[in-house]
C-alpha cells in the first residue's frame, strides 16, 4: 500500500513539474505558438497566416533568412541571404504563398533556455516544408515539388500573455524537383538524377 501511495505522489509531483513549474509553462507556451502557426498554415488561408505572423513576431523583430537551393539549374546548390523587418517579412511570406499551388509546414521546438529574469528565452526550432508550384526551365514551364528543412535560432519574449519571437536566424535547405508527370520534359537528366539520389 505504501509503495502505491509513493508512486502516486511521485506521479503527481512529476505532473506538477511538467505543467506548472514556471520554466515548463513558458516552454509549453512557446510550443503552443509554433503549433498555432503550423495550424494557421494548414488552413491555406493567407490572411490567417499573416495574422499569425503578426501575432507571434515582435514589432522590432528582424528575421534573417539563409536559403540554399538545389535544383536542376543549380545541382550543386546556391545560397542566398536576406534580412527583413516585420512588415517586409509578412509580405515576403504572403507573396511566396500566393505563387504556390499547395504547401505544408510543420515546426517543432528543439531547445529552450529560459533567461534568469524569466522574461525571455533562447530557442532553437526546426521545421519541414513542402510545396507545389511551377518553374520556368529551359523554355518550358514545369510543375515542381519543393522540399525543405529549416533550422532556426532566436529569442522569444514573454510579456503577460504574449509570446513573441523577438529575433530569429533561419537556415533553410530546399530541393526543387519536377513532379513525376513532368520528368520527360527535363533536358538535363544528369542533374535530375543527382537531385533524386
What is the tens place of the pLDDT at every residue in 83-103? 999 999 999 999 999 999 999
* Whether the predicted pLDDT of 45 surpasses 60: yes
CATH code for the part of the protein at 2-195 = 3.10.450.50
* Whether the predicted pLDDT of 138 surpasses 90: no
* Whether the predicted pLDDT of 25 surpasses 70: yes
Would you place residue 14 in the very low, low, confident or very high pLDDT band (cuts 50, 70, 90)?
very low
pLDDT of residue 136: 77
Cβ contacts of 38 within 8 Å, gap of 6 or more: 105, 106, 107
* Whether the predicted pLDDT of 22 surpasses 80: no
State how far the Cα of 35 lies from the Cα of 33, in Å rounded to an integer: 5
pLDDT of residue 113: 96
pLDDT of residue 8: 38
* Whether the predicted pLDDT of 162 surpasses 60: yes
CB atoms within 10 A of CB 140: 12
Statement: the pTM of the whole predicted model exceeds 0.85? no
pLDDT of residue 16: 44
Percent of the chain with pLDDT over 70: 80
* Whether the predicted pLDDT of 59 surpasses 70: yes
Mean pLDDT value of segment 166-181: 92
Mean pLDDT value of segment 187-192: 54
State how far the Cα of 72 lies from the Cα of 128, in Å rounded to an integer: 21
Would you place residue 71 in the very low, low, confident or very high pLDDT band (cuts 50, 70, 90)?
confident
Backbone φ and ψ of 14, nearest 5°: -65, -40
Set of cell numbers at residue 196 = 533524386
In the chain, beta strands by DSSP E: 64-70, 78-83, 102-114, 120-137, 140-159, 162-178
Q: Where are the domains of the chain?
A: 2-195
pLDDT of residue 107: 97
* Whether the predicted pLDDT of 181 surpasses 90: no
Amino acid at each position: 500500500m505504501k509503495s502505491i501511495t509513493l508512486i502516486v505522489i511521485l506521479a503527481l509531483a512529476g505532473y506538477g513539474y511538467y505543467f506548472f513549474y514556471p520554466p515548463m509553462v513558458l516552454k509549453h507556451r512557446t510550443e503552443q505558438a509554433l503549433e498555432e502557426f503550423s495550424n494557421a498554415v494548414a488552413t491555406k488561408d493567407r490572411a490567417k497566416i499573416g495574422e499569425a505572423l503578426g501575432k507571434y513576431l515582435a514589432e522590432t523583430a528582424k528575421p534573417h533568412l539563409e536559403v540554399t537551393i538545389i535544383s536542376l539549374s543549380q545541382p550543386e546548390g546556391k545560397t542566398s541571404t536576406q534580412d527583413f523587418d516585420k512588415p517586409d517579412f509578412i509580405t515576403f511570406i504572403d507573396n511566396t504563398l500566393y505563387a504556390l499551388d499547395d504547401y505544408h509546414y510543420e515546426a517543432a521546438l528543439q531547445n529552450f533556455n529560459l533567461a534568469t529574469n524569466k522574461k525571455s528565452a533562447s530557442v532553437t526550432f526546426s521545421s519541414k516544408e513542402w510545396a507545389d508550384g511551377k518553374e520556368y526551365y529551359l523554355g518550358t514551364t514545369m510543375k515542381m515539388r519543393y522540399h525543405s528543412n529549416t533550422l532556426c535560432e532566436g529569442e522569444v519574449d514573454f510579456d503577460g500573455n504574449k509570446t513573441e519571437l523577438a529575433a530569429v536566424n533561419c537556415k533553410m535547405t530546399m530541393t526543387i524537383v519536377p513532379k513525376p508527370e513532368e520528368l520527360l520534359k527535363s533536358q538535363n537528366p544528369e542533374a535530375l538524377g543527382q537531385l533524386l539520389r
